[in-house]
Structure 1
């Protein structure tokens, strides 16, 4: 098993919400990926929708507070974007190259993940079997990101690293975790 911890940083041109940190861990075991995000700080300042009784696939989750990660196959331009809303909604997109050919990934009919509000923190945990899109012998590169929207409507963009002049989660050289 290959496991790594991570800490996300806000894009420098944005002011981060008060007392906010985003960290976690990610592990790969064969075709299984486990990722855990921990958002800690003054959660009452952040727009987080209450968990839905009927979580479903939804578009444009990144317009609100949304945990995201990107999976790319080493030496391939194709990659996948995973969006996970604290309300339980989700989506997965397949892209043919940098921001090109974006389509819903139909290999996933449902993504189940656990969200726990812990007062001063919010934990999101996903266990994913990605065997339908990536084979066990393929090395993957991962970008881990989060969009945070505060109660005033301001949005901050968090990532492992920011490699562009603007916040851009799709830049392949920001997929810095190798699994």
Structure 2
């Protein structure tokens, strides 16, 4: 399924004009390919890093998945550097701890007009609605916030109204 993210009205991007996300549910995983279109040379892309867990990825160009669960929700951060993070929240921005679920950045492709980041997220099976978002930092330090849906007010990917995509049931293996 292909969906489009939109920039928050308070944080437009001069360089990027579209972000699309291809999404598939694959048993215990969600496969994603984020595609960023525009003047991608004006984006501050993180330097390649070890494909390990890392904190504070959302402070720079990063892609995110939010998945409500029976015990709160999970947040997954996917950096074009290859680093990733996963967190458990007991409630709206409450009780953040590292999650057991893992993620993996599979591939990053770059051209002059677009960049794609392909990833797998180990999502809990009860996650039937998700939020998809992106933080895009430009080379001058400006930041734009992209999501499927933006609740009123400042950018807030944790808000339940941002969990706007209903996933199909898992595909059999």
- Per the TM superposition, whether the score is higher than 0.5 is yes
Query: Partner residue of 1:85?
Result: 79
Q: 1:112-163: CA deviations, max 9, x gaps?
A: 4211113311111113343xxx23xx35110000001111111110000101
Aligned counterpart for 1:31 among listed residues 7, 28, 32: 28
Query: Partner residue of 1:171?
Result: 159
2:76 is aligned with 1:102 = no
What is the 5 A alignment of 1:61-76?
61-73=57-69, 76=70
Contact 1:20 1:40 in 2 (8 A): yes
Residues 55 and 29 of structure 1: is their aligned pair in 2 closer, same or farther, counting only changes over 3 Å?
Answer: closer
RMSD: 1.7
**Matched residue pairs, number?**
167
Mapped to 1, the partners of 2:114 and 2:56 lie a distance apart of 24
Mapped to 2, the partners of 1:155 and 1:118 lie a distance apart of 21
Query: Partner residue of 1:44?
Result: 41
Query: Partner residue of 1:159?
Result: 147
Unmatched tracts of structure 2, length 5 or more: 168-173
> If the length of structure 2 is used for normalisation, what is the TM-score?
0.88
Query: Partner residue of 1:15?
Result: 12
Unmatched tracts of structure 1, length 5 or more: none
Contact 1:113 1:126 in 2 (8 A): yes
Mapped to 2, the partners of 1:158 and 1:31 lie a distance apart of 26
Mapped to 1, the partners of 2:16 and 2:92 lie a distance apart of 33
Mapped to 1, the partners of 2:144 and 2:73 lie a distance apart of 23
2:135 is aligned with 1:128 = no
* Offset of residue 33 of structure 1: 1.4
* Offset of residue 66 of structure 1: 0.4
Contact 1:145 1:157 in 2 (8 A): yes
Contact 1:77 1:98 in 2 (8 A): no
Residues 72 and 24 of structure 1: is their aligned pair in 2 closer, same or farther, counting only changes over 3 Å?
Answer: same
Residues 31 and 44 of structure 1: is their aligned pair in 2 closer, same or farther, counting only changes over 3 Å?
Answer: same
Query: Partner residue of 2:170?
Result: none
SS at match of 1:111: strand
Mapped to 2, the partners of 1:128 and 1:104 lie a distance apart of 14
